[in-house]
Amino acid sequence: MATAQEKATPDNLSNNPTASNSSAVPSSWTHPAADPFRNRPPVSALMSAVDSFPDPPPKTTSTTKGIPVMMRAQTCHPLDPLSAAEISVAVATVRAAGATPEVRDSMRFVEVVLVEPDKQVVALADAYFFPPFQPSLLPRTKGGPVIPSKLPPRKARLVVYNKRSNETSIWIVELREVHAATRGGHHRGKVISSKVVPNVQPPMDAVEYAECEAVVKDFPPFREAMKRRGIDDMDLVMVDAWCVGYHSETDAPSRRLAKPLIFCRTESDCPMENGYARPVEGIHILVDMQNMEILEFEDRKLIPLPPADPLRNYTSGETRGGVDRSDVKPLQIIQPEGPSFRVNGHFIQWQKWNFRIGFTPREGLVIYSVAYIDGSRGRRPVAHRLSFVEMVVPYGDPNDPHYRKNAFDAGEDGLGKNAHSLKKGCDCLGYVKYFDAHFTNFTGGVETIENCVCLHEEDHGILWKHQDWRTGLAEVRRSRRLTVSFICTVANYEYGFFWHFYQDGKIEAEVKLTGILSLGALQPGETRKYGTTIAPGLYAPVHQHFFVARLDMAVDCKPGEAFNQVVEVDVKVEQPGENNVHNNAFYAEEKLLKSELEAMRDCNPLSARHWIVRNTRTVNRTGQLTGYKLVPGSNCSPLAGSEAKFLRRAAFLKHNLWVTPYVPEEMQPGGEFPNQNPRVGEGLATWVQQNRSLEEADIVLWYVFGMTHIPRLEDWPVMPVERIGFLLMPHGFFNCSPAVDVPPSASDLDDKDNGISAKQIQNGVIAKL
């Protein structure tokens, strides 16, 4: 992800003076009176590994009371996404390490991503190397501070597929002099490690999808099968190369396989023709994606193509069967004084929140180092890392080919790699700051998605209001939220991922589902009990969408501290008797989740069940432990038998909540390579069998949530947005509501229609309507 290109539009934060990557230490800090390191704790214990690097220290340094202070800007924060230059260096380093020219030519680069450093290294960077400089992040110890002169080199992790040998390998590359890549392509990377991972298939790539479509459309038996359905023009045919998943030993990862779904457009001269309106069924194809060969082909059943539906298209001005609305007047979102947030590289400050933005090819948007500035208590950490790490879409139709449709859109494809550019004034409104994202393509080149992540403020109605009926005086606070988002397209579906930060300390995670339904064809007069008929010869199968949020919490914990625990809260009805003589009593009961197996939990809306992450060492003014609670939204469970094949790979769907102690390698709940994965319970369901203690730990929450989609006629030809998500809310974290600190906005309070000014309203003058 890049921030160097600041687009100069009213929808972009291009003129914000804080939107620079520069993070040099102010020269005044070298003066003893302004020394922020004075009386700070030593960090030599944390940084023994840092100083072991053989590179010489920077030439430009100064010393204050024996403390080396960096006078040169640190150009990349340890959590910044890899730049285009860094990706190029990593790829060139790995390619150069190939043993033979054949090996080097066969390398296909599936993923290049930052190796995230230890939390202590991040703390050091935030404490002394990058503004706003937060030395309080480091623990206090005896003795004076010893500050290393530089941070350790950044590292990249590469997933490489060898097209000749059908092997997958993982490489770790240390990035040393990345800037040299801009002076002729020379690299100064160093291979730290490499290993072959046996019996796996890495995610599919867009290049493979395009090659698969071309191979299928050039296959003579396929062309003949399409002619039997009245299609001669192969330009009308769409081939979606779906992963085979794992249903039997024939799907084993010894071969790289795809079973494409076929669709056919109606018009060749309409670039926005909805090809998903005409699924081609009855054709079985198995493609060897390694060698791009058709392994199996069978025209099993001649099912007529659905007739061209006059309501199938969705392009503005071209919708059939109706007219575009003409009574919608312009709606403008303006901020004449600019936004309230500040951006420095990937560091965001808004109201009392601050955090960092990251991006990976698999997860897409990542939120790091979330903290709240709480008056005299200063910076209070809430979470170290928040992201969506997996999603699964199982279909409920047992007929071929739909029973195979159980996509792992993160693990098999990559949410970040399927992100797209956001449009000004449409995807995001108001004063917008965009971030670009950089990825490697299959052959090792670097591609950039411009305007990939959107950062903007939104009005969110009333935060709170109260009117005293005796005096007629009212108090009201307007709510505003900061939203960070990206949108990706996986075949026919669009998914929008949003993180909302609120003024009262809440964080909302939201997924918006839209796009186009994945459909099936029907014989004349046929209906299916496993779907909805939405047009003649066309039906939409029932299916579910599941998402997994990984929440690396740090409630009131500095990096490296492990002082969190999780309690489950249920509302219970008091038993009739002496304590409940009126039969109206109920109460909240807490249960400490002491171990991983005990912490495999499910939602229960009947008891208002939620979970609280608490700090075991910090209390509020009433003596209660401070915490943040996870409040479920609408949710569901897999509607499948216990022996369903997709649950072999997605055992994590069996519970809504899992809790583990932090382990850096435990990142993907279904394992890193779910594609064609035959193993039962790999990933999260296996890790928790260790039954590690959670009574006081560095806590990671894994929240699984989803929705069941029974398609409607109104979901055709486009599926209006469906929203699901959850909340992280302060629970005993603050001594009183942060909402009292949010002043009413004069512009929001102005009531010109009644001749009442904002100042009068603030002074308690209320209009009698």
Domain contains 440: yes
Number of helices and strands in the chain (H, E):
9, 34
Residue 64 has a pLDDT of: 35
Q: In terms of C-beta density within 10 A (0-12 exposed, 13-18 middle, 19 or more buried), how is residue 745 classed?
A: middle
Q: How far apart are CA 567 and CA 274, in angstroms?
A: 49
pLDDT greater than 50 at residue 19 = no
Over residues 317-334, the mean pLDDT reads: 75
Note the pLDDT tens digit of each residue in 204-220: 999 999 999 999 999 99
Note the pLDDT tens digit of each residue in 695-747: 999 999 999 999 999 999 999 988 999 999 999 999 999 999 998 888 775 44
pLDDT greater than 60 at residue 456 = yes
Residue 704 has a pLDDT of: 98
Residue 679 has a pLDDT of: 82
Q: Which of 177, 197, 217 is the last residue of a domain?
A: 197
Over residues 40-49, the mean pLDDT reads: 40
* pLDDT band per the 50, 70, 90 thresholds, residue 309: confident
Over residues 621-636, the mean pLDDT reads: 97
Domain contains 227: no
Q: How far apart are CA 77 and CA 70, in angstroms?
A: 14
Place of tokens 């199982």: 394
Residue 50 and residue 151 in contact, taking contact as beta carbons nearer than 8 Å: yes
Residue 318 has a pLDDT of: 57
* pLDDT band per the 50, 70, 90 thresholds, residue 328: confident
Note the pLDDT tens digit of each residue in 463-480: 999 999 999 999 899 999
Q: What is the pTM of this model?
A: 0.88
Q: How far apart are CA 583 and CA 595, in angstroms?
A: 35
Could you give the number of structural domains in the chain?
2
Domain of residue 179, CATH code: 3.10.450
The two tokens of residue 338 are: 């600019």
Domain contains 6: no
Note the pLDDT tens digit of each residue in 664-682: 999 999 999 999 998 876 8
In Å, how far from its chain's centre is CA 279?
31
DSSP designation for 34: G
653 vs 138, more confident: 653
Strand partners, 170: 159, 195
Domain contains 421: yes
Tell me if residue 493 is catalytic: yes
Domain contains 758: no
Note the pLDDT tens digit of each residue in 519-531: 999 988 899 999 9
Catalytic residue among 409, 427, 436, 552: 409
CA max distance for the chain: 87
Whats the size of the chain, residue-wise?
A: 769
Q: How far apart are CA 264 and CA 519, in angstroms?
A: 12
626: CB partners within 8 A, 6+ apart: 555, 556, 614, 615, 618, 619, 620, 732, 733
430 vs 769, more confident: 430
Catalytic residue among 246, 276, 395, 493: 493
Domain of residue 593, CATH code: 2.70.98.20
* pLDDT band per the 50, 70, 90 thresholds, residue 12: very low
Residue 408 and residue 674 in contact, taking contact as beta carbons nearer than 8 Å: yes
Place of tokens 């160097």: 4
Q: How far is CA 537 from CA 274, 277, 280, in A?
A: 16, 10, 11
Produce one character per residue of 326-347: b if its CB has 16 or more CB atoms within 10 Å, e if not: eeeeeeebeeeeebebbbbbbb
Q: How far apart are CA 415 and CA 409, in angstroms?
A: 7
The two tokens of residue 588 are: 């909240």
Domain contains 449: yes
Give percent above pLDDT 70 in the chain: 84
Residue 10 has a pLDDT of: 42
In Å, how far from its chain's centre is CA 567?
26
Q: Which of 179, 197, 215 is the last residue of a domain?
A: 197
Q: How far apart are CA 681 and CA 668, in angstroms?
A: 12
Enclosing domain of residue 164: 84-138+148-197
Residue 40 has a pLDDT of: 36
pLDDT greater than 90 at residue 423 = no
Domain contains 760: no
Note the pLDDT tens digit of each residue in 577-617: 999 999 999 999 999 999 999 999 999 999 999 999 999 99
pLDDT greater than 50 at residue 518 = yes
Note the pLDDT tens digit of each residue in 144-166: 666 778 899 999 999 999 999 99
762's enclosing H/E stretch is helix 758-762
Domain contains 9: no
